[in-house]
Amino acid sequence: MGITTTGMSIIAANLTGSALPTHIAIGLGSTAYASGNTALVSESDRNQINIYDLSTAKQVTMISNWAPSEISGTILKEFGTMTTGSAMLNREVLTGSMVFTGEQELQIQQTIKFFI
C-alpha cells in the first residue's frame, strides 16, 4: 500500500488531533538518544507549544518560546516534544550545552516531515 501526497498532509494535520504534541521540554541529560526513550533524562522545564504551522504539505512545525526570566541559570543539553499525556514524541541531545544568563531568550522550533 502506498500513501498519497494528500494522505501525508492529512496525517500531518492530524498531529493536532488526539495525538496532540502540547509542550516542548528542556533538560540537562547528556545520555545519547535511543529510540526507546520515554522521557528526557533530566527535565528542567517545559513550555507549551504556541505555534503550529501546517502551511506546508506533508509537514508540521511546532514552536515553543522561553523568556529570559524563565531560563535564567538554565543549562540546556537536551529537549523533546511531549504529548497531552506526557508521552515523548522525540528527543534531541545537543553536542555541547547552552547556559542562559537571564539575558537571552530561547525558541525551539521543530519540524516533522513525512516522506513517501
Share of the chain above pLDDT 90, in %: 53
Q: Domains in the chain: how many in total? A: 1
pLDDT for 55 equals: 92
Residue 18, pLDDT above cutoff 60: no
pLDDT for 57 equals: 87
Q: How far apart are CA 31 and CA 78, in angstroms?
A: 9
Q: Which domain holds residue 39?
A: 5-113
pLDDT for 104 equals: 94
The alpha carbon torsion through 88, 46, 100, 36 (nearest 10 deg) reads -10
Residue 3, pLDDT above cutoff 60: no
Return the higher-pLDDT residue of 111 and 15.
Answer: 111
In angstroms, the Cα distances linking 16 to 36, 41, 55, 78 are 23, 26, 13, 24
- At 63-83, the pLDDT tens digits run 999 999 999 999 999 999 887
DSSP state of 19: T
DSSP string, 33-45: P-TT--S-SSEEE
In angstroms, the Cα distances linking 62 to 20, 27, 36, 72, 73 are 11, 18, 22, 23, 25
